[in-house]
Amino acid sequence: MKIEETGIPDLLIVHPRVFEDERGYFYESYNKRTFHEHGLEYNFVQDNEALSSYGVLRGLHFQKDPYAQAKLVRVTEGKVLDVAVDLRRGSPTYGQHRSVELSEENKWQLMVPRGFAHGYVVLSERAVFCYKCDRYYEKSSEGGVMYNDPDLNIDWLIPNDQLIISAKDQQQSYFKEVDHNFTF
């Protein structure tokens, strides 16, 4: 397993070691011991999966402390553009984001620590998006950042008129106004 830094502290791309032969492939999508050897001390308690079609944009979501979640995300079918925004006040990359294409082909994963807003858009006909969380979902602590915030200037790679966005995600706060309690 290779761990790649993204330029934002603690936001990491995980490249699993994939073994392929005439039967198909095998890889470990998660190994607690290997993560600990890389200093990644997470105790995942919940796994989630979402099926979405082309143009569906989910995000940018987070949970406020004390329910903030770290997430290990991956795609098992299709392709998405995954985006994480650093919301940790005092971080040298506060307000910056990284975009990473995750797909069934590359099998990459993104380790999104607590203190980030997170979202993705489906680039393929459909995609199955899977993620592990280190804390349980708590509706009362959920928050979000507007997907098209001009200060973030995220290129979602899909024309606006082709995006499919929930009513909730169309009413999120802009980055400068977002209510959160994260520090670096």
pLDDT values of the chain reduced to their tens digit, one per residue, 184 residues: 999 999 999 999 999 999 999 999 999 999 999 999 999 999 999 999 999 999 999 999 999 999 999 999 999 999 999 999 999 999 999 999 999 999 999 999 999 999 999 999 999 999 999 999 999 999 999 999 999 999 999 999 999 999 999 999 999 999 999 988 899 9
Mark whether 61 is an active-site residue. yes
CATH at residue 167: 2.60.120.10
C-alpha distance from residue 38 to each of 3, 35, 112 (Å): 8, 5, 15
Our count of domains for the chain comes to 1
Of 61, 97, 118, 180, which one is the catalytic site residue?
61
Of 97, 118, 120, 131, which one is the catalytic site residue?
131
Query: What number of residues does the chain have?
Result: 184
Q: Does residue 71 lie within any of the structural domains?
A: yes
Residue 11, SS3? coil
| Spatial CA neighbour of 116 closest among 166, 172, 153, 64 | 64
Alpha helices in the chain (DSSP H): 32-37
Q: Does residue 182 lie within any of the structural domains?
A: no
| Residue 50 structural domain | 2-177
Mark whether 131 is an active-site residue. yes
